[in-house]
Amino acid sequence: MTTWNDETLFSEIESLALDVTEEQYRIQPDLMDRYGRAGFEKSRRDTVYTLNYLAEGVLMDSPSLFLHYIGWLKQLLAGYGLTEADIRKKLELILDRVRAGRQGEMTERTIHILEMGIERTREPAEVPPFIAEDRLFGREARRYLDALLRSDRLGAYGVVDEMFERGETIRDIYRYVFQASQYEVGRLWQTQQISVADEHYCTAITQSAMSRLYAHWIGGERPKRGSVLVSACVGGEMHEIGLRMLTDVFELEGWDTYYMGANADEDRLAETVARRGADIVALSATMTFHVRLMKKLIARLRADERLTGVKIMVGGLPFNVDPFLWKRVGADGYAPDAEVALQEADRILKERTIVATPEEAGEHPEAEGGHQLGS
Ligand code: B12
- The DSSP code sequence of 166-181 is TT--HHHIIIIIIIHH
Are 66 and 111 in contact by the 8 Å Cβ rule? The answer is: no
Residue type at position 164? F
Higher per-residue pLDDT: 275 or 362:
275
Tell me the mean pLDDT in the region 192-209. Answer: 97
Instruction: Encode 143-174: b = buried (16+ Cβ within 10 Å), e = exposed.
Output: bbbebbbeeeeeebbebbeebbeeebebbebb
Q: Smallest Cα–Cα separation from 189: which of 179, 180, 178, 200?
A: 200
pLDDT of residue 375: 30
pLDDT > 70 in the chain, percent: 92
Question: How large is the greatest C-alpha to C-alpha distance in the chain, in angstroms?
Answer: 71
Task: Compute, in angstroms, the gap from residue 286 CA to the centroid of ligand 1.
Answer: 5
pLDDT digits (tens, 9 = 90+) for 101-111: 867 888 899 99
Split at pLDDT 50, 70, 90, the class of 374 is very low
pLDDT of residue 105: 86
Provide φ and ψ at 279, rounded to 5°: -85, -40
Q: Does CATH place domain 138-217 in 1.10.1240.10? A: yes
pLDDT of residue 260: 97
Of 286, 311, 314, the one to substitute when testing ligand 1's pocket (max ligand atoms within 8 A of C-beta) is 286
**What is the DSSP secondary structure assignment for residue 127, as one 8-state letter?**
P
Task: Compute, in angstroms, the gap from residue 152 CA to the centroid of ligand 1.
Answer: 23
For 228-361, CATH number out of 3.40.50.280, 3.40.50.300, 3.40.30.10, 3.40.1710.10 equals: 3.40.50.280
Question: What number of other Cβ atoms are within 10 A of residue 292's Cβ?
Answer: 18
Which residue has a Cα nearest atom 62 of ligand 1? 186
CB of 50 shorter than 6 A to ligand 1: no
Q: For the packed helices 105-120 and 30-59, what is the interaxial angle rounded to 10 degrees?
A: 130
Ligand 1: nearest atom to the Cα of 196: 11
pLDDT of residue 355: 66
CB of 240 shorter than 6 A to ligand 1: yes
Sheet holding 256-259, edge to edge: 256-259, 228-233, 280-284, 311-315, 333-334
At 345 the three-state DSSP class reads helix
At 299 the three-state DSSP class reads helix
Split at pLDDT 50, 70, 90, the class of 220 is confident
Q: What span, in angstroms and rounded, lies between the C-alpha atoms of 73 and 197?
A: 21
Centroid of chain to Cα 83: 27
Q: What is the dihedral of CA 15, 17, 22, 24, to 10 degrees?
A: 150
Residue 172 clears pLDDT 50, i.e. is over it: yes
Tell me the mean pLDDT in the region 313-326. Answer: 98
Residue 247 clears pLDDT 70, i.e. is over it: yes
Q: What span, in angstroms and rounded, lies between the C-alpha atoms of 310 and 279?
A: 5
Burial of 197 (0-12, 13-18, 19+ CB in 10 A): exposed
Residue 10 clears pLDDT 60, i.e. is over it: yes
Task: Compute, in angstroms, the gap from residue 67 CA to the centroid of ligand 1.
Answer: 18
pLDDT of residue 101: 83
Tell me the mean pLDDT in the region 138-156. Answer: 98
- The C-alpha angle with vertex 367 and arms to 365 and 369, in degrees rounded to 5, equals 130
Task: Compute, in angstroms, the gap from residue 366 CA to the centroid of ligand 1.
Answer: 34
Of 42, 198, 239, 342, the one to substitute when testing ligand 1's pocket (max ligand atoms within 8 A of C-beta) is 239
Which residue has a Cα nearest atom 3 of ligand 1? 239
Task: Compute, in angstroms, the gap from residue 99 CA to the centroid of ligand 1.
Answer: 34
Domain ranges for the chain, please list them: 13-120, 138-217, 228-361
Q: For the packed helices 84-100 and 30-59, what is the interaxial angle rounded to 10 degrees?
A: 60
Split at pLDDT 50, 70, 90, the class of 336 is very high
Chain-wide mean pLDDT for the chain? 92
Split at pLDDT 50, 70, 90, the class of 44 is very high
Centroid of chain to Cα 22: 31
Q: What span, in angstroms and rounded, lies between the C-alpha atoms of 287 and 285?
A: 6
Q: Smallest Cα–Cα separation from 56: which of 284, 287, 264, 232?
A: 287
CB of 65 shorter than 6 A to ligand 1: no
Residue type at position 367? A
Split at pLDDT 50, 70, 90, the class of 353 is confident
pLDDT of residue 357: 55
CB of 9 shorter than 6 A to ligand 1: no
Ligand 1: nearest atom to the Cα of 236: 77
